């Protein structure tokens, strides 16, 4: 966890990480574009699938507005590749296998589910502006309506 939670207006933590296809993705390489960086717990789980498919279904609209979508979980490249192929996801899924990126963004921590405690990603989305500043943070995301909400928020500001 970071010392203090990230807030709107903070500089987004830089990253250099591989996606599910083995391509290196860097925040620096995305300067000049709006980036939707969404953190989700696991590939192929019900909520995560709904969220990913929601971003997929609106992908052309995001692209038309020069907005980059990046999904992040602690799954490895093999799991990401299967998930991407199964649901025809057109955007990169980043392999945060050591939870370094999710820790830098303050979304990796203790979770509770069905009486068990474990470490994992809390579903959170960051919108990063073209200058690398955090423009919006969505915490405690509801997976299904979330992609539409993000898109509506971004285009209403345009």
- Please write the tens of the pLDDT for every residue from 40-95: 999 999 899 999 999 999 999 999 999 999 999 999 999 999 999 999 999 999 99
Tell me whether residue 136 is in a domain: yes
Q: Which domain range does residue 106 map to?
A: 33-157
Integer Cα distance of 99 and 114 in angstroms: 23
Residues 76 and 85: their CA atoms lie apart, in Å, by: 14
Per DSSP, the residues of 105-142 read TT-EEEEEETTEEEEEE--EEEEE-TTSBEEEEE-S--
Residue 93 lies in a domain: yes
* Mean pLDDT of all residues in 87-115: 94
* Domain annotation covers residue 25: no
Given the residues 48, 70, 89, 134, select the one marked as catalytic.
Answer: 48
pTM: 0.94
pLDDT of residue 1: 42
Q: Is 53 an annotated catalytic residue? A: no
Model pLDDT, residue 4: 79
- Please tell me the predicted confidence (pLDDT) of residue 157: 66
Q: What percent of the chain has pLDDT over 70?
A: 97
Is residue 95 helix, strand or coil? strand
Query: Rounded mean pLDDT of 21-28?
Result: 96
Domain tally for the chain?
A: 1
CATH code, domain carrying 104: 3.40.30.10
**Crossing angle, helix 46-57 and helix 146-157, to 10 degrees?**
40
Structure tokens at 134: 């955090």
4 occurs within a structural domain = no
């Amino acid at each position: 966890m970071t010392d203090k939670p990230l807030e709107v207006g903070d500089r987004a933590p830089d990253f250099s990480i591989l996606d599910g296809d083995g391509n290196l993705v860097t925040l620096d390489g995305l300067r000049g574009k709006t980036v939707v960086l969404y953190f989700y717990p696991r590939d192929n789980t019900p909520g995560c699938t709904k969220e990913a498919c929601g971003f997929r279904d609106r992908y052309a609209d995001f692209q038309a507005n020069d907005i980059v979508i990046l999904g992040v979980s602690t799954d490895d490249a093999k799991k990401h590749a299967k998930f991407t192929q199964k649901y025809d996801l057109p955007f990169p899924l980043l392999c945060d296998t050591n939870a370094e990126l999710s820790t830098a963004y303050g979304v990796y921590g203790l979770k509770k589910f069905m009486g068990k405690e474990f470490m994992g990603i809390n579903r959170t989305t960051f919108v990063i502006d073209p200058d690398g500043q955090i423009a919006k943070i969505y915490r405690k995301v509801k997976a299904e309506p979330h992609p539409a909400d993000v898109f509506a928020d971004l285009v209403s500001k345009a």
